[in-house]
Amino acid sequence: MNTKDFSVLIGGAAGQGSRKAGLIIAKLFNNLGYGVLIYDDYQSLIKGGHSFSLIRVSEKEPLSHSQEIDFLLALDQRTIEEHEKDLSKEGIVVFNKDRIEACEGTGLDIETIVKECKGIPIMVNIALIGGFAKITGIEWNVLEQVLRKEIDREIEKNLEIARKAFDGAQSIIEIKKLKNNPRPLLTGNEAVALGGAKAGLETYYAYPMTPATGILHYLAERGHDLNVCVSQLENEIAVINAAIGSAYAGKRSMVGTSGGGFALMTEALSMAVQAETPVVIVESQRPGPASGVATYQAQGDLLFSLFAGHGDIVKFVVAPGDANEAFYWTGKAMNLAWKYQTPAIVLIDKELSESTYDFSEEEIKKEEGKMWDGKGEYKRYLDSEDGISPMAFPGAKGVVKATSYEHDEFGITTEDAEAVKKMQEKRMRKFELMKEEAEKMRSVNVFGNLKSKTTIVCFGSVKGAARETAERLDLKMVQPLVLEPFPEKQVKKALEDSERIICVENNASGQLAKLLSCFGIKVDQKVLKYDGRPFFREELEEQIKKII
Amino acid sequence: MENLETYCPNTWCPGCGNFGVLAAAKKAVNSLLGQGVKKENIVLVSDIGCSSKSTDYLDLNSFDSLHGRSIATALGVALANPELKVIVFIGDGGALNEGIAHLIHAAKRNSNIVVLMHNNRLFALTTGQFTAVSPKGLKGKSTPEGAPEEPINPLELMLDSKASFIARAYSSKIDHLASLIEKAIKHEGFSFIEILQPCVSFFNNLQFYNEKVYEVEDEERTKEEARKLIEEWNYNGEGRIPLGLLYSEKRETYESLINKSSKGKEPDIKKCLQIHL
C-alpha cells in the first residue's frame, strides 16, 4: 500500500455517526502532517439507508477523491457490500464484528465494547476509530488530543471506549508522522461563510435547502464571533427581499440556497439590478430538474444563473473550485456587489459545499463602495459618468429613494421616454465597467503543462479532479473563475495555443461548452457526468485517456 | 407643518380614497417630527398598485419594492437598523393575495414595522379584478358573473397570526387614521392597520361605509373581546364596521431577539479557524 497517498472509507447507516467519524479520521491524519480531502455521501433521510465518508490522505495536497479504497471501515454489512469492489490490492478491511459475520479483514467487537462501557449506540463509531488508529500505528496521545477537541459531550466515556478498542487491536501498518503542521479543515460552505464575513457580511438570510444549509448553520453558530445577524424566514422570496432591504439600509447582506430556492428569488434579483442594491446570492447546485436528487452533486444551474432575472441585466457570477477559492471569491463577490451596487452570485455545488478541504487563507479585505459626500441635494441615481451613483443610507443626511420601477435621478417613478432611456443607459455604462473589471481580476486559473496543445476546461468543484488529471497526463487545464461578465480576453488567451479543447462538466448538456460557444470558442469534446456523483480521479483520467 | 411633498405629479383618480390616507400619513409624520423623531429615521416601503404610489408623493426615505414583497423588504430594513421607523404602504392584493405569507409571518414574529393596508377590496390599477377581500359575487372583468370566492377577514387573520397591534380605519376619517398611524409607529412590534378605502373608479362603496362605520374607544381588550368586534362585519354586506385600535399587546420584537451584530465590530476569523484545526 502507498502510505504516502491513500484513501479511507467509513460507512454505515444514517444515525451511526459515520460523517463525524470521517471528520475525526481526517483530523488524525491532518495532525500527523498529511493533506486531507473528505467527500461525504448521504441520502435524503435521517435514520437508516447508507452514508459514507471518503477521505483521501496524501503527503501533497489532495486535489480530488479516489475511487480506490485502501482502508474500508464498516459499521454495517451494507458498507461491505457497497464498497468491497473498490478495495485496493493490499487494502485493509476493519469491520464491526458484532454486526457483520463472515468477512475478511480485522473484526472489532466494538458494539460489545460500547455496551461494556455503558455507552450509547452512536459511540460505536468512536470505538471503530480507536481500533483503526491502532491498526495504522497512530499513537494514543494523538488520538486522545483529537477526540478531546472534536467531542463536546461525554468525552471521558468516549475516551474510555476508544482506549478499549485501541488496546484490543493489533498494529498492521505504520502511517508515519510528517513534519507539517496541521491546517484548518473547512467545508466549502464554511469557507463561504468566513469569506463573506471577512468582507463585511452583517446580515445573512436563508430558508433551509440542501446543500446550502451548512452556511446557515455555521453562521447561526458563529454569528457572535463573526458579527453576523442570521435570520431564517418563511421562504426564499422573503429571504432575498429582506436581504435587499438590509442592503438598502446599509448592511452587507447575503443569502444562500440551491437551484429551486434560487428560482424563487429571480424576481427580486432583477429588482436588485433596477434598485441598484448590492446583494450576494450563494447558489449551491444539486441535480435537477425540479427537486432532483436532493443530497447529491451537479452543475446544471450554470446557464440558469447566468440568465436569471428579467430585463436587461448584467450581474456578477463567480464559481470558486475549492474551499480556498470559496473563501476568497465570496469576499470578492461581496466587494464587487458593493462597488457596482448590483447582485453577485457565488455559484458552487454540493461537492464544494459539503466536502472538507485543507484550508489556507488567501487575503481578502472589505472594500468600501462609492459613498455620497453629503454636499447639495442627494440623488440616489445620480447620472454619473461611470454609471455608478454614490450611496447614502437612511438614518443619515439626505432623502434616499430606491425603487423597483424605472426612475429619475432622485428615485421617483418615471414613464417619460427620455428619462427611461437615460437611466437604462446609465446602467449600461456600469455594466461596461463590470466587464472591464472581470478582465482586470485574476479571473482564470491555468494548471498543468502550459505548453500542451490539449486543454481541459472546467468550472467550479470539477477543478480538483481536472487538475490532477491534467497534471498526470501532462495536459493543460483552464478554469474560468468569473463566468459573468465573461472574461473573454483572459479565457481566449489561455486557450490560444490549444488545438483540442475538452470540457469536463457535472451536467448532462455541457453548459460550459455552450457558454464558450457564445464567444466563438469551439469545444472539441465533452466529458459529462450526471449521476449525482463528483468526478473521481481514476475515472476522469480513464475517460480523458480514451479520447486523446 | 412640513408639506413633505415631492415634485411628482399625483396620478390617482379624482376623489380616490388614497388622498385621505396620504393626508393622514403626512399628519402623523409631522406630529412625530414635532415630538423629536428625526426625519431621516423614517423609511417608507411600498408595494405595487395605486396605494404604493404614496412613496413617490412623500419626500422621505423610501423603497418601492415588488408586488407582495414590501413587507419582507421592510423587515430587512428594520433588522439592519433598529433606529429606523419603517412604514409599509400596501394594498389588499399585495398583502392578502400575492404576499400573504410575508404578512402572516411578519405578524407572527412581531417584526417592528407598521403595515398600512389600503383596502379598496379589489385590484384597481389593473382595472378591477377581485382580491381576497372582495365580496362574493363582485363583478369584474375577470369575473363577469361575479367573484366565486368568499372573502377573508384580514383582521381575524392578523389576530390569529399573533399581530401585536391591530386596527381598522377609514380613509374619509383622516384625523382618526392619523392618530392610529402615530400610535402604530410608536408601538414596539408589528402593527397592522386596515384602511377601508373606496375606489371611485371600480368599487365606489363610499355610501356603504359612511352608513356602516362607527368608532370604538381605544381601550385594552382581551383577544375574545377583540374577536367579537372583528367579526361584526363579514366583508360581504352584513354587520356594522367598527373602527379604531381593536387589539394590542406588548411582546418582544423579532429584531431585539435575533440581532447579534454590532456596529463596527470586526469578525474574528482567527478564532473560528482555530476550531477547524
3-state SS, chain B, equals: CCCCECCCCCCCCCCCCHHHHHHHHHHHHHHHHHCCCCHHHEEEEECCCHHHHHHHHECCEEEECCCCCHHHHHHHHHHHCCCCEEEEEEEHHHHHHHCHHHHHHHHHHCCCCEEEEEECCCECCCCCECCCCCCCCCCCCCCCCCCCCCCCCHHHHHHHCCCCEEEEEECCCHHHHHHHHHHHHHCCCCEEEEEECCECCCECCHHHHHHHEEECCCCCCCHHHHHHHHCCCCCCCCCCEEEEEEEECCCCCHHHHHCCCCCCCCCCHHHHHHHCC
Of the candidates A91, A90, A57, A61, the residue with the CA atom closest to the CA atom of residue A74: A91
Helices A188-198, A213-226: inter-axial angle, 10-degree rounding = 40
> In the structure, what pLDDT confidence band is assigned to residue B261 with cuts at 50, 70 and 90?
low
Which three cell numbers, joined as nine digits, stand for B112? 417592528
A264 in contact with B, Cβ within 8 Å:
no
Q: List the CATH number of the domain containing B153.
A: 3.40.50.970
Structural domain including B169 reads 18-275
In a domain, B5, yes or no: no
> In the structure, what pLDDT confidence band is assigned to residue B162 with cuts at 50, 70 and 90?
very high
User: What SS3 state is found at A176?
Assistant: coil
pLDDT exceeds 80 at position B262? no
Residues in chain A: 548
A406 in contact with B, Cβ within 8 Å:
no
Nearest to A225 among B45, B77, B272 (CB): B272
User: What SS3 state is found at A14?
Assistant: strand
Q: Where are the beta strands (DSSP E) in A332-378?
A: 343-349, 356-358
Nearest to B265 among A194, A227, A395 (CB): A227
Over its C-alpha atoms, chain B yields an Rg (Å, rounded) of 19
**Nearest CA of chain A to the CA of B135: how many Å?**
29
Task: Indicate the residue type of B213.
Answer: V
- Ranges of residues in chain A with a pLDDT under 70 are none
In a domain, B126, yes or no: yes
Mean pLDDT of chain B: 96
Please state the φ and ψ torsions of residue A477, each to the nearest 5 degrees: -135, 130
**Nearest CA of chain B to the CA of A412: how many Å?**
6
CB contact under 8 A, A396 and B261: no
**Nearest CA of chain B to the CA of A400: how many Å?**
5
Q: What is the pLDDT of residue A49?
A: 94
Of the candidates A498, A397, A418, A517, the residue with the CA atom closest to the CA atom of residue A456: A498
d(CA A484, CA A545): 31
d(CA A265, CA A239): 8
**Which of the 8 DSSP states describes residue A316?**
E
Is the ipTM above a cut-off of 0.90?
yes
pLDDT exceeds 90 at position B264? no
pLDDT exceeds 80 at position B266? yes
In a domain, B7, yes or no: no
> In the structure, what pLDDT confidence band is assigned to residue B260 with cuts at 50, 70 and 90?
low
Task: Indicate the residue type of B150.
Answer: E
Bond into B9 cis (ω within 30): no
Q: What is the pLDDT of residue B134?
A: 97
Q: What is the pLDDT of residue B6?
A: 98
CB contact under 8 A, A227 and B7: no
Runs of H (alpha helix) within A178-317? 188-198, 213-226, 236-248, 259-275, 302-307
> Residue A184: its chain B contacts at CB < 8 A?
273-274, 276-277
Write out residues 42-81 of B within 8 Å (CB-CB) of A. Answer: 43, 45, 53, 55-56, 59-66, 69, 72-81
In a domain, B1, yes or no: no
> Residue A396: its chain B contacts at CB < 8 A?
40
> Residue A398: its chain B contacts at CB < 8 A?
40
> Residue A198: its chain B contacts at CB < 8 A?
267, 269
**Nearest CA of chain A to the CA of B74: how many Å?**
6
In a domain, B202, yes or no: yes
**Nearest CA of chain B to the CA of A198: how many Å?**
7
In a domain, B2, yes or no: no
Write out residues 219-258 of A within 8 Å (CB-CB) of B. Answer: 222-231, 233-235, 237-239, 241-251, 253
Nearest to A245 among B55, B75, B268 (CB): B75
d(CA A416, CA B228): 50
User: What SS3 state is found at A469?
Assistant: helix
B257 in contact with A, Cβ within 8 Å:
no
The lowest-confidence range among A16-20, B88-92, B261-265 is: B261-265
Judge whether A318 and A333 are in contact, CB under 8 Å: yes
> Residue A395: its chain B contacts at CB < 8 A?
40-41, 81, 83-84
User: What SS3 state is found at A385?
Assistant: coil
Of the candidates A338, A283, A336, the residue with the CA atom closest to the CA atom of residue A309: A283
Count of the separate structural domains present in chain B: 1
Complete domains list, chain A, with CATH: 5-168 (3.40.920.10), 185-358 (3.40.50.970), 370-441 (no CATH), 444-547 (3.40.50.920)
pLDDT exceeds 90 at position B223? yes
> In the structure, what pLDDT confidence band is assigned to residue B259 with cuts at 50, 70 and 90?
confident
The arrangement of strands across the sheet holding A454-457 comes to A444-448, A476-480, A454-457, A500-505, A525-528
CB contact under 8 A, A245 and B105: no
Among B50, B100, B260, B263, most A C-beta atoms within 10 A, so best to mutate, is B260
In a domain, B235, yes or no: yes
Q: What is the pLDDT of residue B265?
A: 85
> In the structure, what pLDDT confidence band is assigned to residue B9 with cuts at 50, 70 and 90?
very high
Please state the φ and ψ torsions of residue A53, each to the nearest 5 degrees: -115, 135
Mean pLDDT across the stretch B42-54?
Answer: 97
